[in-house]
Amino acid sequence: MSGVDASGASKPLVSIGVPVYNESKYIRSALEALLRQSYSHIEVIVFDNASTDETWSICQDMASADTRLRIYKNEKNVGAAENTRLVFREAKGEYFMWAAGHDSWEKNYLEVAVNALEARDSAVLCFGVNHWIDDDGEKLVRTSGWADTVGLGPCSRMVFALLGSMNPILGVIRRQAIEDIPKLLGCIGWDLLVLAELSLRGEFINVTGAAWSRREFRHEPSYAEKLKRYKSKEFNLVDTWFYRHFPNANILIQLVFVIARAKIPWLKKAVLLFSTPLILLIKYIDFKLSASAR
């Protein structure tokens, strides 16, 4: 689905999926940041996961003022994983972006990302510079580095995806590249798995001319605390005994399937199958050492 700009040129539709639950503190500012993007040919799809605060009424108020905002409310909490799927299923655009109901984006974020993707057919994802902010919107002394994978082959791209941060999952993605991926969203590490699969399908572009702010408000001091949240009924991400007790082993198993179904030569698949466990081990050791140094 395309629109036209002031010059009459065709503009692809960007679908933005915002799965929310009890985001009343931040949802208005998050939606305002998305709706005031300089790239205006967008649809913003909100799924309220049976919030118990004022999230839904805020969304209703904003939707009445802007037809680009489509809102839905689940009758009961279906879990974060399913809610994340739901916003994608409703998307109609050529491009898609997941957006958190507590984050913020510079006005030119979508415009810069779409222009970069339109200029490079071999790229499947584009994301900007990331800043971390606290509950009050103040910048944190925290960085999440990433380099783009333009010009790299599939093996190198996947290494970057495995070792890098998960921030690119919230970038602008070609919808066609992920239409058969959402089945992965129901397990711990789904963002890593989706990025790994996307990396085998095309390049990631990291643009420096646009930024977004990711809000850190959960204050989970350890991976164990995050795992506890993932296991909760409210989150509904871990739904089998194996997932609950061996989350990291399941990630490795799922990565084997990702590599096996990739449309790359078998020799490259063999290289990735051999190296992936070592890469994950390096990432785990680095994470532990970094955590102990804090």
How many domains does the chain contain in total?
2
Give the rounded distance of the alpha carbon of 205 from its chain centre.
Answer: 14
Q: Which of 241, 156, 250, 149 is nearest to 203 (CA)?
A: 149
Q: Where among 65, 81, 102 does a domain terminate?
A: 102
pLDDT per residue of the chain (294 residues) written in tens, 0 to 9:
666 555 446 899 999 999 999 999 999 999 999 999 999 999 999 999 999 999 999 999 999 999 999 999 999 998 888 899 899 999 999 999 999 999 999 999 999 999 999 999 999 999 999 988 988 888 888 777 677 899 999 999 999 999 988 899 999 999 999 988 756 666 778 899 999 999 999 999 999 899 999 988 666 555 566 556 555 666 565 556 666 666 678 889 889 999 999 999 999 999 999 999 999 998 878 776 765 655
What is the torsional sign of CA 225, 226, 231, 236?
Answer: positive
Q: Which domain holds residue 247?
A: 107-166+178-294
Q: Are 193 and 255 found together in one domain? A: yes
Q: Are 280 and 158 found together in one domain? A: yes
pTM of the model: 0.88
Q: Are 96 and 153 found together in one domain? A: no
Q: Are 119 and 228 found together in one domain? A: yes
Q: Where among 102, 123, 156 does a domain terminate?
A: 102
